[in-house]
A and B are shown apart, each in its own frame.
Chain A
Amino acid sequence: MYASQFDGNAAFSGGGFMPSQTTQAPDHSFSPAKNRDVQALLPLTVKQINDAFLSSDDKSNFVIDGVDVNNVKLVGMVRNRAGRITDVTFALDDGTGRIDCSKWVNEAADSNEVEGILDGMYVRVHGHLKSFQGKRTLNVFSISACSLQLMCMISIPLRRWDFDMKYLAYRPVTDYNEITNHFIESIYVHFYNTRLRKQQSSSMTTQPQMTNLSNTPVKGYQAPIANQYTGQAGGDSWKSLEQMVLDFLQLPSCDSERGAHRDVIAQQLKVPLEKLIPAMKNLEEEGLIYSTTDDYHFKSTANG
């Protein structure tokens, strides 16, 4: 089958080069930024899914806040649960709306997972968003009651010369703060995708030289962006001294032949020289900055 198709094409186009067919597919799948977004598990409200823009092709691609959505996390109450041999269906009501969900039951593990899920229970679901004939449904991968597995490690010395015996105890503890947490997370991700990401992309365009580089300096520059997204400890206020130096040296004012004197950097960043010197040494070793006319003037490698 494949061979006969190939022969036909070769015969008509007179060679092996068929741009109309071959070039499009790889382009589509080889956009790293898009791939990462597609893989992300997005915390959402049902209202957001209802308002989501459905891109016109029939592959049911949802777009929320400018991001392609496939896999989502929802937290809400189970309604109208109906269990069959091969699947379980229910409506998830998160207070903003209801969405129909289904979970295939293939193995014993699956049936154990859904057995304890009853009407009126608060659950967290991870699933794949689908649209069929205008109806939006969720294909559930995993479902669990809003509870948190508390693991405590108890260490009991048995005998003085013996090693400690460690017991692992798992205890499910219901924690309804997860509901609050989910909605706050949904707000944060919405805020990130609508505001922070735009701000960052606009600040990137004011420094066009950054976008053209594909070596280490760009990675270094982008590190705090990733940090903001995960919302880990510190958040926006976190910025290492190295990053501050790098940001400073990438300002247009430092883009001269000599670069900037380290005393000037210390003065501008309001950090003592003895702290600045090791940070700059690190950056120099990483190849992100280099000394110019003497040992005191530095430039960012990103500025050339």
Chain B
Amino acid sequence: MDTSNPSVFVNAELLRLYVGRRVRAVIQVLSEGNGVILGKSTDDNQITVKGSPPFPLSKFVEVIGIADTDKSIRADVWTNFGDSFDTSTFNQLCQFANGEFKHLFI
């Protein structure tokens, strides 16, 4: 049982609040190359993800890692979420998990 190092659900707007901390975000991959992935966040902004995914990425990807700036994540865990994902519901969840129901998450 260990809750000392949670990864917070974030979209681009919430990412700013967690620089230096562990976060998780779902992105839609826009471009890939040189260890940098450009993705669209669930609130329709751009996020840069650094790191090298161990497998080819699908359209939607969940990344978990450290927020190294207010617009980028250094990812160490990658999960392909496939080619269809409900981003707007996920975005709502990000807001709940950082707002009224934050205490259930971090």
Contact = CB atoms under 8 A, between A and B. Distances in A.
Interface of A: 45-51, 77, 95-100, 120, 122, 135-137, 174-177, 180-181, 183-184, 186-187, 190-191
Given A176-B82, A177-B86, A187-B96, A96 B6 contact: yes
A137 B1 CA distance: 7
A184 B106 contact: no
A275 to B, nearest CB: 37
Contacts of B106: 47, 96
B65 to A, nearest CB: 12
Contacts of A184: 89, 92-93, 96
A186 B85 CA distance: 20
Contacts of A46: 1, 3
Interface residues of B, number: 29
B104 A50 contact: no
Interface in B63-90: 64, 77, 79, 81-82, 85-86, 89-90
6 contacts: A96-B104, A135-B1, A174-B82, A176-B60, A176-B82, A180-B89
A100 B1 contact: yes
B104 A47 contact: yes
Contact of A45 (B24, B64, B77, B105): B105
A50 B105 CA distance: 11
Q: Tell me which of A49, A120, A181, A183 has the highest count of chain B C-beta atoms within 10 A of its own C-beta.
A: A183
A97 B81 contact: no
Instruction: List the 5 closest pairs (A to B, CB-CB), nearest first.
Output: A97-B3, A176-B81, A50-B3, A95-B7, A98-B2
A77 B79 CA distance: 10
